[in-house]
Amino acid sequence: MLSVENLSVNYGAIRALHDVSCRVEQGEIVALIGANGAGKTTILNTISGIVPSMGGVIAFEGTEITHMAPHLIVRKGICQVPEGRRVFARMSVQENLEMGGFILSGKQEVAQGIERAFTLFPRLAERRKQPARTLSGGEQQMLAMGRALMSNPRLLLLDEPSMGLAPMLVEKIFEIVVEINKSGTTIMLVEQNASMALSIAHRAYVLETGEVVLSGDAGELARNPEVRKAYLGE
């Protein structure tokens, strides 16, 4: 479904990604794990068209999207939930969801998308008129995910969904990620909580200083002594 080949990205004189290659098959959850600054978010931002690549090819469902504009990439079927949630603070929950449905063709489609978000996240339905800034961190994460799902993406890019959340909420968010995947959305997941990410992913890539150093079945990587020592705190 998604193919990234020899992707290189620079931030000024700093090389953020060095010839990174990875792929996502339809129906999978693929995790990117690694330390802060390893290049995980840069990969998602480059796939989304937010960060320009210096080299390499990104293809989605057989079409090259390497230098495509971000709004056109959303129309192709890829949507990103950014790190730090980035909800529209002064807008209500419902207005945030409506913003996520900007590519939808009519009011009925938007209404259906909102109802789907409220079914997935009942807590948002209870707060539909509240400004997003008044929500808890967990509720804002739910809103950011619901907003991204409004465009009916076939590939959802999730950047650090557990960041800053209480452990109980982290489990809930990951349960919802699995539910979204089971309902037919393919997921690429960047996550600091490597243990949780590997527990729900099908496959994973380990990044260090802008390069893929390990890849494979998520369960096998979770049992890998190097991965356990470096990322699972064992």
Write the CB contacts of 165 (distance below 8 Å, at least 6 apart in sequence).
137, 138, 141, 173
pLDDT score for 26: 97
Work out the number of other CB atoms within 10 angstroms of the CB of residue 198: 25
Write the CB contacts of 82 (distance below 8 Å, at least 6 apart in sequence).
144, 159
Taking the CA atoms of 69, 70, 74 and 77 in sequence, report the sign of the dihedral they define.
Answer: positive
pLDDT score for 233: 64
DSSP state of 131: B
d(CA 16, CA 45): 12
If phi > 0 it is left, if psi is from -120 to 50 it is alpha, else beta; for residue 49 that is: left
What is the helix (H) or strand (E) element at residue 30, kind and residue range? strand 29-34
Report the DSSP pairing between strands 55-60 and 29-34: unpaired
pLDDT score for 37: 85
Q: Which domains does the chain have, with CATH numbers?
A: 2-231 (3.40.50.300)
Tens digits of per-residue pLDDT, 15-39? Answer: 899 999 999 999 999 999 998 889 9
Write the CB contacts of 83 (distance below 8 Å, at least 6 apart in sequence).
41, 159, 160, 163, 190
pLDDT in tens, the chain (234 residues): 999 999 999 998 888 999 999 999 999 999 999 988 899 999 999 999 999 999 999 999 999 999 999 999 999 999 999 887 789 889 999 999 998 888 888 888 888 889 999 999 999 999 999 999 999 888 999 999 999 999 899 999 999 998 888 888 888 889 999 999 999 999 999 998 899 999 999 999 999 999 999 999 999 999 999 888 887 765
pLDDT score for 202: 98
3-state secondary structure (DSSP) of residue 39: coil
CA distances from 163 to 82, 94, 160, 191, 228 (A): 11, 23, 6, 8, 20
pTM of the predicted model over 0.85: yes
d(CA 176, CA 170): 10
